[in-house]
Amino acid sequence: MRKYLLSTSALAGAALLSSAAVADVSISGNFEFDYASRDSNIAANDGNLMGHDQEVNVAFTNKTDSGLTITAQNQFKTSSGAQDDVSVSIAGGFGTLTMGKTDGANATYEMNAMGLVQEEEGGHLYSTTANTATIQTSTGGGGGNNLQVSYHLPAMGGLTAGVSTGTGSVAQNNEWSAFGLKYAMDTGGAAVTLAYSTKSLETATAADTDNTSMGVNIAMGALSVTVSGSTKTAVDEDISTQSAGVSYDMGNGLVVAAASVQSEDDADAAEEYNMTTYEAAYTIASGLSAVLNVSDFDYENGTNVDAAAQVDVNGTTTSLTIKATF
């Protein structure tokens, strides 16, 4: 009898331990196959090219007895073997604390009108969209997946906000801090979102690198319009960027969009980037879509001493992308 009770107690204890360690697991992923044709003033950039991009995301979520939600995010680019987003977050009534290699407050709260199109010339399909522009080509807030710690306040009405801090290498003394906020409101049947973010990176040079991003998005039914702007100052950099975009849901799975961006560097006289893009995205079935994009771009190197070997480049890129999500 005693042996039976001990065995039962051991089994019960093991069950309790195992249940405490078990987390909800979600696995998702996406795949993109891209065929692009480029017509450029540089003969070496002309021609057709195929590329692909694939990511896998594994997330573990556990809720503690005290009401905290702990989530471990593991996102990898399996097409290139690189980490994309690896972090742990702790969320509760106090807000959310995130630690790891992930987006900071500047990326979370930035406003970028180019986000209304999916596959513009400056997009993320690394094998088909490279261009010779060394100037920034979006109104983002200097974000990216960096090793950092972020704190996001709990939502207060339509206001969300957060701060981040991170470090680079000791030799370069490149620590940074970031702050961002968004405010969403309804006005006369339109959903309006205002956004602002800033990031300051210390450097071993004479000047720090500072980025700001701001903009507004207005959504009215099937129509969405975004206007955004950003600045970047650093050693030999004084860049201002403006962008505007519009998208319209035609129904039956078809969304059309257009956007343009202009970027100028006053520190490098006559360095300028202009791009206009047009797009049609069609949902073939749940989790499967096709995107047709045409982008006209023009980059002038000017007196850019940072990339003196670069040359002026302009042209048109037409791409068809098949996208699948799982």
Phi, psi of 54 (to 5 degrees): -140, 135
Q: How confident is the model at residue 54 (pLDDT cuts 50, 70, 90)?
A: very high
Cα gap 287→30, rounded to integer Å: 9
Using alpha carbons, select from 161, 205, 207 the residue that is nearest to residue 184: 161
Output b/e per residue, 263-284; b: 16+ Cβ within 10 A: bbbebbeebbbbbbbbbebeee
pLDDT at 208: 84
Cα gap 37→190, rounded to integer Å: 38
pLDDT at 127: 33
> Taking the domains of the chain in order of start, what are their residue ranges?
26-325
Arithmetic mean of pLDDT, 247-272: 92
Question: Helices H, strands E: what count in the chain?
Answer: 2, 16
Q: What would the pLDDT profile of 276-326 be if each residue is shown by its tens digit?
A: 999 999 999 999 999 999 999 888 887 766 655 667 788 888 999 999 999
Arithmetic mean of pLDDT, 205-226: 91
Report for 78-82, 104-108, 184-188, 216-220: range of highest mean pLDDT: 216-220
Q: How confident is the model at residue 7 (pLDDT cuts 50, 70, 90)?
A: very low
Give whole-number Cα distances, 165 to 12, 147, 204, in Å: 44, 9, 18
Arithmetic mean of pLDDT, 211-231: 96
pLDDT at 177: 92
Chain centre distance of CA 107: 7
pLDDT at 149: 96
**Number of Cα atoms under 13 Å in the Cβ half of residue 132:** 22
| pLDDT at residue 231 is higher than 90 | yes
**Mean of the per-residue pLDDT values of the chain:** 84
CATH of 26-325, one of 3.40.50.1820, 3.30.470.30, 2.40.160.10, 2.60.120.260: 2.40.160.10
Q: What would the pLDDT profile of 150-198 be if each residue is shown by its tens digit?
A: 999 999 999 999 999 998 765 556 788 999 999 999 998 899 999 999 9
Arithmetic mean of pLDDT, 133-155: 81
Which carries the bigger pLDDT value, residue 49 or residue 137? 49
pLDDT at 176: 86
pLDDT at 11: 41
Arithmetic mean of pLDDT, 88-111: 94
Is residue 306 within 8 A of residue 236, CB to CB? The reply is yes
* Token code pair at residue 47: 């021609």
Question: Residue 269 carries which DSSP code?
Answer: T
String of DSSP letters for 62-102: EE-TTS-EEEEEEEEETTTTEEEEEEEEEEETTEEEEEEEE
Residues above pLDDT 90, as percent of the chain: 53
Decide: residue 108, CB within 10 A, 0-12 exposed, 13-18 middle, 19+ buried: buried
Give whole-number Cα distances, 39 to 91, 297, 318, in Å: 49, 10, 9
pTM score = 0.83
pLDDT at 171: 56
pLDDT at 203: 78
| pLDDT at residue 126 is higher than 60 | no
pLDDT at 121: 58
- Cα Rg of the chain, angstroms: 23
Phi-psi region of 270 (alpha: psi -120 to 50; beta: other; left: phi over 0): left
Q: How confident is the model at residue 14 (pLDDT cuts 50, 70, 90)?
A: very low
Question: Scanning the structure block, which residue is given the tokens 């950039």?
Answer: 45
Question: Residue 155 carries which DSSP code?
Answer: P
* Token code pair at residue 263: 């970027």
pLDDT at 21: 55
pLDDT at 133: 60
String of DSSP letters for 223-242: EEEEEEEEEEEETTEEEEEE
